[in-house]
Homo-oligomer: A and B are copies of this chain.
């Protein structure tokens, strides 16, 4: 029997994996969690039938959402990660000399699933610098302040994650940051959702002094060409000098390309920075 698992990336495009082993499924309070093994992408974590990560390409996403803001800031001590209960972002953040990492994940079952089935991804969650809050990130940022870095490692803007893409939320994040604080958020694909990318960009722009999108490839995400956006209160990311090497290993992030990641292809510039006539 051939078992296939498909993600509807849009109503009209599907990405399907042949399932070697169905490892785990659970309906949590918030979403349907499933874990299965594939031949080409390793182990896959799906939430509500949407690919969260595969062990084959998760490094691309987690490295880029973490190292770009942290190596831009250069002196981060206190970091907040919103979403990202799998722990991949926390794992990368911990490669930096940070003192405190707060992870705010609404669904404890995601953390438990990752701890059990994704040891190479959740490995940082037991680090003594990490504190996990099982709360709604939208409320959390209203009541916690003083972060040097906030990383928005959210699901797509459907269901409970919608509020994580609103202009008001970005303003609350800005208020939760210290004076030279930097936010980095996953901000979707311009290949399939250009209007969404533009709307998110405008929301972040309304809340920060500097708004700098950057890009990476995430093969198993819709459109594969992915954007992240940095919002910065006082540091101009493009004027920072970046040391062309790191004292830790990466597989996708290359410090020699740090500045280049912010140089966008023209079609993406046209989406987010339309020329005013």
User: What are 30 residue pairs bridging A and B, where the CB atoms are less than 8 Å apart in the complex?
Assistant: A6-B14, A6-B16, A11-B18, A11-B39, A12-B17, A12-B39, A13-B15, A13-B16, A13-B17, A13-B38, A13-B40, A13-B41, A14-B14, A14-B15, A15-B15, A40-B192, A56-B191, A59-B267, A219-B224, A219-B225, A224-B224, A250-B266, A251-B265, A251-B266, A251-B267, A252-B266, A253-B265, A254-B263, A257-B260, A260-B260
- Tell whether A22 is near chain B: CB-to-CB under 8 Å: no
B16 touches A14 (CB 8 A): yes
Q: Which residues of B contact A256 (CB under 8 A)?
A: 263
Report A's interface with B, CB cutoff 8 A.
Answer: 4, 6, 10-18, 38-41, 56-57, 59-60, 191-192, 217, 219, 223-225, 249-254, 256-257, 260, 263-267, 270
Q: CA separation between A18 and B41, bound complex, in Å?
A: 24
| Given A12-B39, A191-B56, A223-B219, A264:B254 Cβ within 8 A | yes
Q: Of all chain B residues, which has the CB nearest A269?
A: B254
What's the Cα separation between A18 and B11 when bound, in Å? Answer: 8
Which residues of the partner chain B approach A18 to less than 8 Å between Cβ atoms? 11-13
Min CB–CB distance A130 → chain B (angstroms): 26
Q: Which of B12, B39, B263 contacts A260 (CB 8 A)?
A: B263
Nearest-Cβ distance from residue A111 to partner chain B, whole angstroms: 27
Q: Is the CB of A39 within 8 A of B14?
A: no
* CB of A148 to closest CB in B, whole Å: 26
Contact A57 B252 (CB under 8 A): no
Distance of A43 Cα from B224 Cα, bound (Å): 19
Partner of A16, one of B16, B60, B224, B253: B16
A39 contacts across to B, CB distance below 8 A: 10-12
Which residue of B10, B60, B257 contacts A263 across the interface (Cβ within 8 Å)?
B257
Q: Which residues of B contact A264 (CB under 8 A)?
A: 254
